[in-house]
Amino acid sequence: MIEYQDVAAALQRERGDAVVVTAMTQTRFWKAASDRPELDIPTNNSMGKASSIGFGIAIGAPGRKVIVQDGDGSLIMNLGSLITVAGKSPKNFYHVVYDNGMYAVTGGQPIPGAGNIDWPGLALASGYRAAYSFDDTEEMATEMPRIMAEEGPIMIHVKVKPVITTNLGVIQTWESNAVMPAQMRSVKAELASA
Amino acid sequence: MATEGLTAGAMVHRIAAQGVTHVVTLPDSETNFMYDTMTESGMEVVQISREGEAIAIAAGLWIANQKPAVMIQNSGLFESGDALRGLGIGIDLPLVMFIGYRGYTRHGDTPDSAAQFLEPFLHTWQTPYWIVETDNELGRIDLAFKKAEETSKPVAVLIGAEYVSV
């Protein structure tokens, strides 16, 4: 299994000026790794829609890479989005799926089908151009530059070591809930000025 | 030219005139006649697998500085309720949603719960709406786009009739 921060580090090395959309636990680790926060969108208030938001950006800004850092629990809420993405087949769309087999932010309850889901198989059967799967840190880090140089849509499935939130629940404040809309406007301005 | 019903060509022309770049849609029995016309309009049609994706994709397109519209049926709007909350109203997204008003009878009494709950749903989500049944009423589309821009919130245009022709 791979640590979250190692996936984030490998993606950061390859992100360039890509827009990065994150869900749930990935947001925490990406925030620590990212050197272009003005191009990052955390979607913790979207209930599984990170892939759809990223897809909209990808087809609206086809000259810009979009990296979606999804969770397995998040993506099964919106599994049809794989078909929708493949229907347009955006070459700039990179879909990273962190597979911990559980709902980490609610205390670690297993997701339906945990351990039995063939994520690369789902992506390929849906029409993604390519899909890769990693459970070894070194192999992932070695392969990431080549993969990120390919045309999408691509799924990168990573088997990660679970990091369970122990305080049971996402703590929300007015300030934390304002982050996603503010970051969306930041990315919108960045794309407008490009 | 005025008609007694809705024609797809007039409707699509009106939407395109607002500068819409993408129509995020899942065909339904009220709006299906528009599909071919939309694909020939210059607007990009973005097909979705289920309506719950629509507002999230529209949000992404808006972030990319495009001007999307959504076209789904009322039953699909109910499926989209959380996205309307979090990714429409919650991010101040100026968006016009064209909603097929399945079950609309023009006199209130309807056996279709998709129709019974549509307007209460929109009131609950504090989403303004206009009903369009004929080409004579297409000016309401302009009002909807104006309202969406002024308030930076989602608004709805309810399609209260099937199209009489393309």
Domain that includes residue B127, residue range: 6-91+118-150
Q: Does B46 touch chain A (CB under 8 A)?
A: yes
Q: Does A31 touch chain B (CB under 8 A)?
A: no
Domain spans, chain A? 4-193
Q: Over chain B, what HEC string results?
A: CCCCCEEHHHHHHHHHCCCCCEEEECCCCCCCCHHHHHHCCCCEEEECCCHHHHHHHHHHHHHCCCCEEEEEEHHHHHHCHHHHHHHHHHHCCCEEEEEECCCCCCCCCCCCHHHHCHHHHHHHCCCCEEEECCHHHCHHHHHHHHHHHHHCCEEEEEECCCEEEC
CATH of the domain at B73: 3.40.50.970
Cβ pair A80:B49 closer than 8 A: yes
Q: Contact at 8 Å (CB) between B18 and B146?
A: no
- Asked if the structure places residue B33 within a domain, the reply is yes
Cβ pair A81:B49 closer than 8 A: yes
- Residues of chain A scoring pLDDT < 50: none
Smallest CA–CA distance from A89 into chain B, residue: B46
Smallest CA–CA distance from A78 into chain B, residue: B53
- Asked if the structure places residue B64 within a domain, the reply is yes
Q: What is the dihedral of CA B119, B156, A190, B91, to 10 degrees?
A: -10
pLDDT at B32 (0 to 100): 76
Count of CB atoms situated within 10 Å of the CB of A175: 8
Total domains present in chain B: 1
Cβ pair B58:A56 closer than 8 A: yes
Q: Contact at 8 Å (CB) between B23 and B97?
A: no
Give me the amino acid identity at A54.
G
pLDDT at B163 (0 to 100): 60
- For testing the chain A interface, which of B53, B66, B92, B93 should be mutated: the one with the most A CBs within 10 Å? B53
Cβ pair A188:B64 closer than 8 A: yes
CA distance B110 to chain A (A): 32
Q: Contact at 8 Å (CB) between B63 and B94?
A: no
Token duo for residue A21 = 């959309």
CA distance B151 to A113: 43
Q: Does B61 touch chain A (CB under 8 A)?
A: yes
Cβ pair B56:A59 closer than 8 A: no
ipTM, 2 dp:
0.96
- For testing the chain A interface, which of B63, B72, B84 should be mutated: the one with the most A CBs within 10 Å? B63
- Residues of chain B scoring pLDDT < 50: 1-2
| Chain B hits for A177, Cβ within 8 Å | 90
Top-level class of domain A4-193: alpha beta
Give me the amino acid identity at A28.
R
pLDDT at B166 (0 to 100): 54
- For testing the chain B interface, which of A40, A44, A59, A82 should be mutated: the one with the most B CBs within 10 Å? A59
β partners of residue B97: B70, B156
Cβ pair A84:B53 closer than 8 A: yes
The answer for A 169-188 residues in CB contact with B (under 8 A) is 177, 180-181, 184, 187-188
CA A134 to chain centre: 15
